[in-house]
Amino acid sequence: MASKWITEPLQGVISYIAKGIPPAYVEVECENTVRVLNQKCNRDFAISYVESRLHDLSKRSVPQEKYLQDEDILINSTGTGTAGRIAQLSNVPFPTIVDGHMIILRGNEKVTPRYLGYALKAQQATVLQFDEGSTGQTELNRDRLLTEIEVSYPVSLEEQEAIAATLSALDARIVENKKINHHLEQMAQAIFKSWFVENAPDDWDYVDLGVVTTEIRTKVKEQQIPVLSAVKTGNLVLSEDYFTKQVYSKDIGKYIVVEPNDFAYNPARINIGSIGINGFDSSGCVSPVYVVFRAEPEYHYFLSFFLKSPNFQEEVRVRASGSVRQSLNYGDFALIQVLYPPLDVVRKFNFQYEGILSTLRRLDEENSRLAEIRDTLLPRLMSGELSIADRSDVK
């Protein structure tokens, strides 16, 4: 029999809430440093250490309670569009703190840590509305967070944990699929490096990039075309994952049209190597900072790898110019030499990569379905509308 459910404001189910500290950042790790998480580490309900930095304890000590613990809930406290993002750190791999732009939150004896984490994630959209202040200076209203966010929970801790376990099972599948995809991407890069870097015959041609690409300079004339942005990522899947819809710009007329299968490359030194291909069925547009070009379809995969290679990116860095935002126009970009392997070799590479690509896409699609199931179940399970017994098929 299901236990009794209680609903009360967040402040009634927490034992600790505090901001992080202003860190004394250093670049080199040593015995006096600890990891610092920041806003950029909090994305998609998960914490990544990739963007973390180092704090020097010899310059500023940290109270013990501000060191992160397993199952701590972290909420971004500042930043337009980011204040209110919620994530839960399942385990702390090494001593870690957060900076002053994040809030640490821990539950009390009424709720299990994982249950409280999901209860807050279920109300992410509401929490994001609690930011106040001018553009770029927004701050999460903590009083509203504590009083206006209500948490519903079964009195039984066992029932709470069963609900959290159901949702965690879905998240675990998503994480595992991402690990598999990461391994496959590394495999594809290893194949590319072996074929076209380490073992490339000396008689293969190098040509100016402009010989094998054509610049696209069509300016936007309609306001409703979606704005796309090439994402800086190691993911080499040629799909719409490379592009995310952004807000429309006031200077939309300066943007460049990107037709389906056109490339967009960001040569600005601040974000060098960000490359994507328009995988949508319709046109989009990108900021004028991007170089937009078209290439032979059979060379798409090859160019996607080659233009992200360290040597090519270094050439872009060397040639970039500008006093504020160093970048490169297509004329200079097109003068950079690229390897131009024979078409029969490229076709063999395409065949191997497409085998990997089909698995990457399948797992991406599976993750999208799993996330949709999780996000559908989340509010219903956390409110008691749906009984955990109704989801016994999720293991």
Structural contact between residues 20 and 101, judged by C-beta atoms closer than 8 angstroms: yes
> Worst-scoring range by mean pLDDT, 11-15, 85-89, 174-178, 259-263?
259-263
At 235, the pLDDT band (50, 70, 90 cuts) reads: very low
| Same domain flag for 170 and 246 | no
What is the structure's pLDDT at 61?
Answer: 94
Residue 331 lies in a domain: yes
Give the integer Cα–Cα distance in Å for 75 and 124: 10
pLDDT at 90 over 50: yes
Residue 239 lies in a domain: yes
Q: Both tokens of residue 4?
A: 């009794």
Which carries the bigger pLDDT value, residue 391 or residue 191?
191
Q: Both tokens of residue 393?
A: 């098929």
Decide: helix, strand or coil at residue 286.
strand
What is the structure's pLDDT at 273?
Answer: 58
Chain-centre distance of CA 102, in angstroms? 18
Structural contact between residues 256 and 285, judged by C-beta atoms closer than 8 angstroms: yes
Give the integer Cα–Cα distance in Å for 158 and 141: 33
pLDDT digits (tens, 9 = 90+) for 103-114: 999 999 999 999
Residue 294 lies in a domain: yes
Q: Both tokens of residue 70?
A: 């397993």
Residue 259 lies in a domain: yes
Its domain, for residue 236, covers 205-340
Total domains in the chain come to: 3
| Same domain flag for 366 and 249 | no
| Same domain flag for 359 and 377 | yes
Residue 192 lies in a domain: no
pLDDT digits (tens, 9 = 90+) for 56-76: 999 999 999 999 999 999 999
Structural contact between residues 136 and 45, judged by C-beta atoms closer than 8 angstroms: no
pTM, 2 dp: 0.79
pLDDT at 252 over 90: no
Q: Are strands 86-89 and 72-76 parallel, antiparallel or unpaired?
A: antiparallel
